[in-house]
């Protein structure tokens, strides 16, 4: 992980495994974003990546039910962010799922509902890492803002409607 001087903001958002916690997740990210001076779009992209991972944990992490914490740790600088998401649910490596590239070209009738969340995380973040240790799923991801996006298609896509 990184040195403190690179990330002046160090924040923890503690959530529970419920969908309504997405409000607090988003509020927390907006606060960090405004303190760090991120562009609005960077906050939305990070919000999407975090939501998809947290929703996965809420939906599949605790099949026997009950209330369980999900820790979201954010280290932020004006032009970069590192997020670590930890949960004590069943071991699940979201990166093992194959990208749904073949599905993207299917006709409406044949498109399955769902399966896009982790694909979004991979597309939006620069660097992602999963490990299971000491009974915890630990997902880490990193994003550099400002510089040219590795995702050329996103930039070229724009609003060409």
Partner 1 sequence: MNIQATEKNGVTIIPLEGRLDGSNATVAEQAFLQLLAEGKQQFIFDLSGLQYISSAGLRVILVAAKKLRASKGRMVCASLTEQVYDVFEMSGFTTILEMAATREEALEKISASA
Q: Which residues of the chain form contacts with partner 1 (CB under 8 A)?
A: 19-23, 26, 41, 44-45, 47-48, 51-52, 54-55, 58, 103-109, 111, 113-114, 116-117, 119-120, 123, 153-154, 157, 159, 161
**Least CB distance from residue 10 to partner 1, whole Å?**
25
Shortest reach from residue 134's CB to partner 1, in Å: 28
Task: Specify whether the CB–CB gap between 122 and 139 falls below 8 A.
Answer: no
Of the pair 4, 41, the CB lying nearest partner 1 is at 41
Burial class (CB within 10 angstroms; exposed 0-12, middle 13-18, buried 19+) of 104? exposed
CA gap 49, 121 in Å, rounded:
5
Q: How far is the CB of 57 from partner 1 (least distance, A)?
A: 11
Q: In a 3-state reduction of DSSP, which class is residue 112?
A: coil
Whole-number minimum distance, CB 117 to partner 1, in Å? Answer: 4
- Phi, psi dihedrals of residue 136, rounded to the nearest 5°: -125, 140
* Closest by CA position to 99, among listed 82, 116, 74, 85: 116
Nearer to partner 1, 90 or 106 (CB): 106
Which lies closer to partner 1 via its Cβ, residue 21 or residue 126? Answer: 21
């Amino acid at each position: 992980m990184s040195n403190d001087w690179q990330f002046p903001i160090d924040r923890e958002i503690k959530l529970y495994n419920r969908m309504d916690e997405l409000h607090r997740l988003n509020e927390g990210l907006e606060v960090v974003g405004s303190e760090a001076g991120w562009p609005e779009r960077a906050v939305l992209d990070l919000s999407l990546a975090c939501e998809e991972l947290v929703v996965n944990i809420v939906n599949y992490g605790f099949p026997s039910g009950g209330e369980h914490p999900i820790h979201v740790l954010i280290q932020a600088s004006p032009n970069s962010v590192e997020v670590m998401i930890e949960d004590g649910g069943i071991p699940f490596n979201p990166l093992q799922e194959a990208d749904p590239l073949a599905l993207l070209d299917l006709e409406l009738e044949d498109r399955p509902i769902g399966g896009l969340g982790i694909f979004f995380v991979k597309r939006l973040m620069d660097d992602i890492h999963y490990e299971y240790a000491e009974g915890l799923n630990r997902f880490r991801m990193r994003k550099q803002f400002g510089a040219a996006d590795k995702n050329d298609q996103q930039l070229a896509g724009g609003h060409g409607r």
